[in-house]
Structure 1
Amino acid sequence: MKLIIGNRVYSSWSLRGWLACKQSGLAFTEEVVPLYGEGWDESKTLGVLAPSHGRVPLLWDGEAVVWDSLAILNYLADKVGTDRFWPKPPAARALAHAMVAEMHAGFMALRGQCPMNLRLHRTGFQPDAAVQADVMRILSLWAEARARFGGGGPFLFGSFSAADIFYAPVVSRFLTYGFTVPGFARAYMDAVWEHPWLQQWVEAAAAEPWIIPAFERKD
């Protein structure tokens, strides 16, 4: 398998696809196509990104070509078994699916005003009401998952799962923009951030030379 990703510093969706590949336990290679950089337009139409028309991540697996991070996760779950990605109890699995779906489709204010940037650390950031509403909703979801199903470990459903894959970029945003969170959320964020796979991604991101000025605003 080969996973095509965008810049590790900025691409939250690439992080999700990459974590899904790691969670699968299957061997894969990766290739970075810098977002909006030289060759980006050509790659969208003629290169490796052509099937997704410039969307990352993109997974090539023989004749199978899969884009969209949730589609990649589901494809991999079909290959290795859904229990590797989702909690086993039906009630926990139902909540996990709903949380992932909400993350996949929602929280537009947080995404738009707080883009992922692993090299940026903001101080004094003042979120507007829409971002605050997104943050409170996310914290309520985390609290429910941890209280009901998180007793088996430090992650949302105990062990690392699809829900943590999809909320990992949110953890990075909360850290970048200095959001104040309750203790249970901070403990969860620490567990995600200290996960060896997250640290591997962060270290690789630190070595990237590309900068997108629009994502580097500090005001």
Structure 2
Amino acid sequence: MNSLTLRTIALITMIIDHTGAVFFPGVDTFRIIGRIAFPIYCFLLVEGFRHSGDVKGYIRRLAAFAIISELPFDLAFFGKLEMTHQNIFFTLTLGLTAIYLMDTKGKELPYIGLVSVVVAMVLASLLNTDYGYIGILYILIFYHTRLMTGPMRHLIAFIVFTLSNFLFTGGLQLYSSLAFIFIIAYNGKPGPRSKVIRYFYYAAYPLHLMVIFLVSRYVI
């Protein structure tokens, strides 16, 4: 299973999750399926970090789509511009920035790595980004297991990931460990690549949220 296939699974399960959150808030099945999406995105973020030749450009793209996506996110979930909760691109941007600083500045100045993680977690909590500090923790788990090989990589990530959920979240979020069913099938290959494909998957986030808002406001 290549990264494009994983990304597609994450996109589909995310859309199912958001559809359930807006249209079927009392049906847990949608939300359980949706728990699969974010861990896959965190895993792919670290894979992208490993193989990107321009991590700073990667961070800028995530930040740009965080801004672009905020209005559709707010409209879909709150029906208006609402600054008390920020979309998932903010979490991913903070997480990627933290591991970038750990991997570069942190090698010479170890405290920089710790500070970058703490700052990312604090900002995620203060900004109330999707998944908050636990989202940063997920990214760190995949970052610290990225260089392991064979089954051990996924086994350790799974154990720490699941334990983190029991300690810091609970409820439906415990189902997010189901994402490892797909993550362990990853073959390390990117699959078809092009700028069109890349930006389609970025744009799909704000676009599907806008569709959800329009349907909820004008159709149902």
Same fold (TM over 0.5): no
Instruction: Tell me which protein shows more strand as a share of its residues.
Output: 1
Q: TM-score, normalised by structure 1?
A: 0.35
Q: Which has the higher contact order (CA 8 A, sep 6+)?
A: 2
TM-score, length basis structure 2: 0.35
